[in-house]
Amino acid sequence: MFSLVPRSVFRLAAGAAAGYLFALRPWQLRWGADEREVHAEMPGDDLAARAQYQATRAITVAAPPAGVWPWLIELGGHRPGAAPDRPAASAGAAGEEAAGQGLKVGDVLLGRNDGSAFIVEQLDPPHTLVLAMRGADATTTCSISLREVDGATRMIFRTRVRAEPGVRGTTYLATTDLGDFLTTRRQMLAIKERAESTHH
């Protein structure tokens, strides 16, 4: 009788794992995205070459990219002036800053400038934002594209992770797998809600 309990627990766990791997995981890795969006190259893909993890999610926002961009930056947690060693901006760069809500390459989003934060690698407001986090266990990138479609915005988020070999890298990959979806989906829905309410 006692041997049946561990077997039942094992079977339940195995069934849950199989359900996640074969049903839930493929859906969450491409939530809202079509085939072209899933397979298209995006800016920043090269920052985590040979990534073991890639997820592409998308959502349509009933507002133009210029109306979505400010919420993307605000809800991302922009910390201006986070890279003191960056050279002074030129007149042309100053224009880019204004269009990007003061955001500059080297600034911090989604964290503090302590080595565990996402740093702005590329930006082309209000259309493209590429972030990267380089840690001892992995390099993680987040590429966001705002593409105008019939007056609305197709917002595409791509996350890539290249983990270092070893237990810590493997653990990082495992914890990223589901946690990334929950965080990204929540952020995308919040941006959509704010942008649409402001636009209308």
Q: Supply the DSSP symbol for 46.
A: G
- Global pTM? 0.78
pLDDT (tens digit per residue) in 75-100? 887 755 444 343 333 333 333 443 45
Q: Count CB-CB contacts under 10 A for residue 137.
A: 16
Residue 104: CB partners within 8 Å, gap ≥ 6?
80, 83, 86, 89, 93, 96, 97, 120, 123
Give the amino acid at 75: L
pLDDT (tens digit per residue) in 94-146? 334 434 578 999 998 865 444 468 999 999 999 999 999 999 999 999 999 99
Q: Count CB-CB contacts under 10 A for residue 183.
A: 13
pLDDT (tens digit per residue) in 171-191? 999 888 878 999 999 999 999
Give the amino acid at 124: D
**Residue 75: its pLDDT value, please?**
85
Rounded to whole angstroms, what are the CA distances from 143 to 22, 37, 56? Answer: 26, 12, 9
pLDDT (tens digit per residue) in 20-48? 554 588 999 999 999 999 999 999 999 99
Which phi and psi angles does 162 have, rounded to 5°?
Answer: -115, 105
Q: By C-alpha distance, which of 146, 181, 173, 138 is closest to 49? A: 138
**Residue 84: its pLDDT value, please?**
35
Most confident of 1-5, 9-13, 100-104, 125-129: 125-129
Q: Which two tokens stand for residue 51?
A: 């990534």
Q: Which two tokens stand for residue 192?
A: 């959509």
